[in-house]
Amino acid sequence: MSRNVLRYDRLIDDALRGVLRRVLTDAATDGLPGNHHFYITLKTTADGVDIPDRLRARYPEEMTIVLQHQFWGLEVEDALFRVTLSFDKLHERLTVPFGAVSMFADPSVQFGLQFQPPGGAGDAASEGKAADGGADPANGAMRGKPALPTASSAPAEAGTPPPAESGRVVALDAFRKK
């Protein structure tokens, strides 16, 4: 017998990736407003990720890129984005499918998102997560809720300081009208 279950975890993940797509599209069109800057963590082994071999050797599993002052040619499509960044004073073109992104943060406004790993939404372990609300025991964050970068996700772009970690958690209920 087949299980017909609405996969809310996948729907939320798709919606949050849409937020990332929109933010990058706006940045590609209008530039970054004010002090906004982005930390984007991606799985370098995910399908469709196209990075130079020297970067893949340096970051075999995961890397965090920073879009702040030194990025060029940001192009956003439905399924991926491309950007040129400076690594050790060499300009390198990266192609990143949205499915390869595991985290997005804008430290200037203390906003962040965590995403499900590619292909991880259909296995037995993540089905258990969906049933219990998607808790991530590694950092105590809820999947689909804002999350700030951790110290272990050091930015790949040289010369960029890591985001300040405030340790504050803000409930969205505080901002809702009653």
- Over residues 93-123, the pLDDT tens digits come to 999 999 999 999 999 999 999 998 755 544 4
Percentage above 70 pLDDT, the chain: 65
Q: Which residues sit opposite 155 in a β-bridge?
A: 64
The answer to pTM > 0.85 is: no
- Over residues 114-151, the pLDDT tens digits come to 998 755 544 433 444 433 334 343 333 334 444 444 44
* Tokens at 96, concatenated: 């990143």
The answer to whether position 1 is within a domain reads no
Number of domain units in the chain = 1
Show the domain range for 83: 8-157
Whole-angstrom distance, CA of residue 55 vs CA of residue 53: 5
The answer to whether position 164 is within a domain reads no
Q: What is the CATH number of the domain that holds 62?
A: 2.30.30.220
The answer to whether position 173 is within a domain reads no
